[in-house]
Structure 1
Amino acid sequence: MSIQRTPQSWGRFPRVKPNAVLPVYWRHEVPQLDTLEKSILPYAYGRSYGDSCLNEGGISLDVSNLRHFISFDEEQGLLRCEAGVSLAEVLELAVPRGWFLPVTPGTKFVSVGGAIANDVHGKNHHKGGTFGYHVTQFELLRSDGTRLICSPEQNSEFFQATIGGLGLTGVILWAEFRLKPIQNPYIQMDSILFSSLDEYRQIAEESDKGFEYTVSWVVCLGNEKELGRGFFSRGNHDTTQPMPSNTQGKHLPLAVPFDFPSITLNRLTIRAFNLAIYNKQRKKYVHKLTHYDPFFYPLDAIHAWNRMYGKRGFFQYQFVIPFEGGYEAMKEIMQEINRSGEGSFLTVLKSFGDVRSPGMLSFPRPGLTLALDFANHGTQTLRLLDRLDAMVNAAGGLIYPAKDARMHPEDFQRYFPRWKEFEQYMDPQFSSSFWRRVTQPAAQ
């Protein structure tokens, strides 16, 4: 068994290696997993930020070659494909035919299997829930060779455990899910400047009623006037234009060719970047027709943008807190971040709705969610995140496992009280660096 490529998370922390990488090329010819002596974890494109996609000292099962489409009912929008197919490939197939992803995260370079395993969410959670909500069935391969067809009606416990199950219940070989109809690849988009969290709240409550997609970028570093301001983006699929002959967006050939020096991202440069972004829009309100690509995937236009954080990588920190008392808690959290000087280069604020996921360990629930990127400055960054943990806990919130690299075991087990029930459906030969970190200490 030879290493084909070394799996790495998008945050590039922690830097760990598996014992081996085992590629899978065809869903009917998977290696005999129960003969392997190390723990196993599926791996595709490494877009999880923390260590949920890593298996230090174990075997990474590379499923990125499972990229065949199996069937597509163009009348019903029901798509079946292998688990290594990327969301980008789904869009290339579906959009010209008048269909779109039911839910998409902020990058299209994730696999369908990864979207299920992390039960990803997007700008339309308040309307469409998570990706897992739209999955109708999938085939799950267990290490003993058993192949289970899982759906809400068939092997439903494995269906619930696998959605949001971080790849620990077995290998998803193929999946079937429902797409949503569209008339063209365009979005009718509004961008609205807001000066405070109070104004954000007013815009968000209004927008969630009439717009399918809502999200905002917010300032977490600056003086008292700057803190909490930002711009709110909302949009709906356009219904006025015909389907163009070319549905692909225009792509700028941008890339980050090398690791930035660690000093590049500091309080001054991050604040300057925040000011530049905020001041880029001169008017309070801007409406425009835009292609879906820059609306949903602005960072995908910059190849290897994670190199901006340097060789030490970065921490993505996302949490959700209940609406009740949430805005007051969010202000305090932003103030703590500002005091620390550990500014976030990208800070995204959104409201989750009450569309319930079938996933046993799914993260989203009604409330305010904030996602931040912190350059890894070692101990001082980790201490800040510990302080933020305490504030999130006090507000009754929780942290997103798919983006985590340092969550404490007692916190994970409190956030997800069904974790012991989930263990019943884990494959006995599957494990991950994340799972060992958040569960093993409790068993000692």
Structure 2
Amino acid sequence: MVADDIRSWGGTVKAQHFVSRPSWREQLPELLARKEGRSVLGIGLRRSYGDSGLNPDGSLIDMTALDRVISFDPVTRLLRAEAGIAFDSILELFVQRGYFLPVTPGTRFVTLGGAVANDVHGKNHHSAGTIGRWVRRIGLIRSDGTEIELTPDDQTGLFAATIGGLGLTGLISWAEIELLPIDSAMMEAETIPFANLDAFFAVAAESDDAADYTVAWVDCLARGDRLGRGLFSRARHAPLGARLTKRAKPKLSMPFAMPGFMLNATSIGLFNGLYFYRGRRAAGPAITPYQPYFYPLDAIGHWNRMYGSRGMYQYQSVVPPATARDATREMLETISKAGEGSFLAVLKTFGGVPSPGLLSFPQAGTTLALDFPNKGQLTLDLLNRLDDIVREAGGRLYPAKDGRISASMFRAGYPAWETFANHVDPAFSSAFWRRVSQ
């Protein structure tokens, strides 16, 4: 066990941790037994933006060396693998065989265990729900050394607490998920420009039945009649095409943190304007490999460094259908007037497929996700104003993206949090959980 300084993906939190890096699952009960009085948390590729994957002055168990496939049944399409396997590796192994992840977030550099612990969602939430709906079994090790195999029909509530449970119910050792059959590694995609927020909701409504995957980029600084303008993308897996595509590696990499002054309202506004007009000119249908469609930011190594040495906050909310239009408009107006935000702004409608986890983030409604360069109190004040809008609309924030939510805001958005707390392993903790539960 070594002491390492670990930084969040957003770069706003850096703290010392005692880190263990096991190579075999058989080592896990022993590691939990000798945690030496410190709280513990399992981690993967550390793509959580805030502090849900950090445990300052406590212990972390780095699961990334536990990345083996345990079994796969081509008839049932059930893949059982160790928790540390990356989605990147699953895709590399199975796309060429005609299978795809049932749900994937916007990066392939997440582990299976991390995906389950955060109950990740993707561009197909309106039809497929979260990854938790596709989990068939979980191997969980509690701090007393007990190893439990959990299934969706679990009557204790521990399965529901572990799905989206932020790694707090114990150490996920392995998981079994159902893969999706595909005929091709290519995507039939279409880009549709929309002029404002009302146009977004119109194209989103018509696309739910027309496409398996939908998402939109939105210009967070546009105002007036152009408020909420952007580019809508919808796609499905192509019925014909190559199953094997060249493994995508980052074409560019940020070698160091950019100076913070380079990200300002002027530079972001210029980028957003050019991006919108370029997207409008290239609009229409296209055939593309799956990697650039699902994982555009993975083409840039260490892209989080573009926000400078002070890092950034990502703010992702979801508000229910009845209040979505007004609340989203108010959030975009607030962001635009403040001149904050970034060129990475995502707008999407979630479907009504219920998530299985007690702390699962997605619910029916509209989700808005933006990155904000960390400008200290100025940024925090803006995020607090957005909190008020989301709370009033009956929405909530995404713990995997959060780095500053208050306990009252968290509890308002997750009314099942006390039920969840009963399933938290007493030896497991995180900076996020200590902030919102006490």
Partner of 2:264: 266
Code of the residue aligned with 2:304 in structure 1: it is: N
Matches of 1:249 and 1:144, distance apart in 2: 41
**1:150·1:156 contact (CA, 8 Å) conserved in 2?**
no
What is the correspondence of 1:11-410 to structure 2 with a 5 Å cutoff?
Answer: 11-18=10-17, 20-30=18-28, 31-36=30-35, 37-154=37-154, 157-241=157-241, 243-244=242-243, 246-251=244-249, 253-283=251-281, 285-410=283-408
**1:25·1:65 contact (CA, 8 Å) conserved in 2?**
yes
Residues 250 and 117 from structure 1, CA distance in 2 versus in 1: closer, same or farther, beyond 3 angstroms? closer
Matches of 2:326 and 2:422, distance apart in 1: 39
TM-score, normalisation: structure 2: 0.97
**2:100·2:180 contact (CA, 8 Å) conserved in 1?**
yes
CA displacement, residues 20-71 of structure 1 (integer Å, 9 cap, x when unaligned): 1111211112234233210001111110011000001101111111111100
The alignment-based identity, stated in percent, is: 48
- Partner secondary structure for residue 411 of structure 1: helix
**2:52·2:399 contact (CA, 8 Å) conserved in 1?**
yes
- Partner secondary structure for residue 369 of structure 1: strand
CA displacement, residues 284-341 of structure 1 (integer Å, 9 cap, x when unaligned): 8410000000000000000000000001000000000111131122111101111111
CA displacement, residues 194-240 of structure 1 (integer Å, 9 cap, x when unaligned): 00111111100000012100000001113424431000000011003
**1:148·1:155 contact (CA, 8 Å) conserved in 2?**
no
Which ranges of structure 2 fall in alignment gaps of 5 or more residues?
none
Matches of 2:286 and 2:190, distance apart in 1: 7
- Partner secondary structure for residue 233 of structure 1: strand
Matches of 1:235 and 1:247, distance apart in 2: 18
In the TM superposition, residue 253 of structure 1 has moved relative to its aligned partner by 2.3
CA displacement, residues 118-143 of structure 1 (integer Å, 9 cap, x when unaligned): 00000000000000110000110011
CA displacement, residues 383-439 of structure 1 (integer Å, 9 cap, x when unaligned): 000000001111111111110000010111121111111111111100000000111
Residues 49 and 83 from structure 1, CA distance in 2 versus in 1: closer, same or farther, beyond 3 angstroms? same
Which ranges of structure 1 fall in alignment gaps of 5 or more residues?
none
Matches of 1:220 and 1:209, distance apart in 2: 27
Partner of 2:5: 6
- Partner secondary structure for residue 293 of structure 2: helix
- Partner secondary structure for residue 356 of structure 1: coil
Matches of 1:148 and 1:352, distance apart in 2: 32
Of 423, 426, 429, the match for 1:428:
426
Instruction: Please identify runs of 4+ aligned residues in structure 1 that moved more than 3 A.
Output: 249-252, 282-285
**2:19·2:60 contact (CA, 8 Å) conserved in 1?**
yes
TM-score, normalisation: structure 1: 0.96
In the TM superposition, residue 283 of structure 1 has moved relative to its aligned partner by 3.6
**1:32·1:143 contact (CA, 8 Å) conserved in 2?**
no
CA displacement, residues 254-284 of structure 1 (integer Å, 9 cap, x when unaligned): 1111110010100001101101110112448
Residues 14 and 135 from structure 1, CA distance in 2 versus in 1: closer, same or farther, beyond 3 angstroms? same
Matches of 2:181 and 2:175, distance apart in 1: 19
Matches of 2:272 and 2:156, distance apart in 1: 46
- Partner secondary structure for residue 208 of structure 2: helix
Code of the residue aligned with 2:212 in structure 1: it is: E
Matches of 1:206 and 1:226, distance apart in 2: 21
CA displacement, residues 126-183 of structure 1 (integer Å, 9 cap, x when unaligned): 0000001100001100111000000012465111100000000111111000000000
Code of the residue aligned with 1:194 in structure 2: it is: F
**1:249·1:291 contact (CA, 8 Å) conserved in 2?**
no
Matches of 1:310 and 1:182, distance apart in 2: 40
Higher mean displacement: 125-134 or 72-81: 72-81
In the TM superposition, residue 249 of structure 1 has moved relative to its aligned partner by 5.0
**2:11·2:311 contact (CA, 8 Å) conserved in 1?**
yes
Residues 195 and 408 from structure 1, CA distance in 2 versus in 1: closer, same or farther, beyond 3 angstroms? same
- Partner secondary structure for residue 6 of structure 2: coil
Code of the residue aligned with 2:63 in structure 1: it is: V
Matches of 2:330 and 2:207, distance apart in 1: 25
**2:126·2:351 contact (CA, 8 Å) conserved in 1?**
yes
Structural RMSD (CA): 1.3
